[in-house]
Amino acid sequence: MWKSAFQEIPKRLSRTEKTSWLRGLEDVVLSSDGHLPFRDNVDRARRSGVQYVVQPGGSIADDQVKQACDEYGMAMVLSGVRLFHH
């Protein structure tokens, strides 16, 4: 149980505190063992402070995903290693 990892359970953040904390995120890394299939994945990631992306590539939309990363100044590495299978 997660509570066992704490000597004292932290108080729950208020909505304002949570919003403030989320807005302050930067230099976040997003990694995926499956490709990022659409540009909107990058758009959403950027709103969460993502600056670095690691993914295997292989989507038919790789060019659009790369373009989105370029527009945001995000670094993206195509690992070529896909561990997620349907």
Is 66 domain-assigned?
yes
Provide the residue type at 25 as one letter.
L
Q: Mean pLDDT, 10 residues at a time, over the chain (86 residues)?
A: 88 94 94 91 95 94 96 96 76
Is 48 domain-assigned?
yes
Provide the pLDDT for residue 1: 81
Provide the pLDDT for residue 46: 95
Domain count, the chain: 1
Q: How far is the C-alpha of 40 from the C-alpha of 12, rounded, in Å?
A: 30
Is 80 domain-assigned?
yes
Which CATH number do you get for residue 77? Answer: 3.40.140.20
Is this model's pTM higher than 0.85 or not? no
Is 11 domain-assigned?
no
Q: Which domain holds residue 30?
A: 26-86
Residue 43, C-beta contacts closer than 8 angstroms, at least 6 positions apart: 68
